Amino acid sequence: MQLGDTFILASGHLWMVLSDPSAHAGSFVFANLTSDARRAGTDCELNCGDHPWVTKKCYVNFGDAKEVTPLHEAAMVPFIATKIITKHFPLEPAVLHRIVAAAKVSKALAQNLKKYFL
């Protein structure tokens, strides 16, 4: 997986690779989008036009961001092959930049994930 890749999981949420795996020995952070501002907070808002999946105002859910190690990524491969996880269009560089900038200052992002955004 690469920085800016996006995936739709079985839950229907879009998840985005927010840090560069090549800069962290293959590990990276990914987070999902939600329309629930109370759940996600409003650190980073996305709107129609920011990504083809986005059809209404939504928010990057930094509180639910996950660290993915190479082992975790390898475990995801069969789910991608069987379409339980579906690759989607990558993030545009300007949108990715906005999200990463918000991650750097987000209070919702777990402390152990901050190292990916230094």
Tens of pLDDT, residues 8-61: 988 788 999 999 999 999 999 999 999 999 889 899 999 999 999 999 999 999
Residue 93: per-residue pLDDT: 98
Does any domain span residue 47? yes
For residue 16, which of 106, 100, 105, 91 has the smallest C-alpha distance?
A: 91
CATH of residue 100: 2.30.30
Count structural domains, the chain: 1
Q: What percent of the chain has pLDDT over 90?
A: 86
Does any domain span residue 118? no
Q: What is the mean pLDDT of residues 66-76?
A: 96
Query: Can you give the pTM of this predicted structure?
Result: 0.93
β-pairing verdict for 28-34 and 6-8: unpaired
Residue 7: per-residue pLDDT: 95
7, β-bridge pairs: 15, 87
Non-local CB neighbours of 34 within 8 Å, separated by 6+ positions = 13, 40, 58, 59, 61
Q: What is the mean pLDDT of residues 53-79?
A: 95
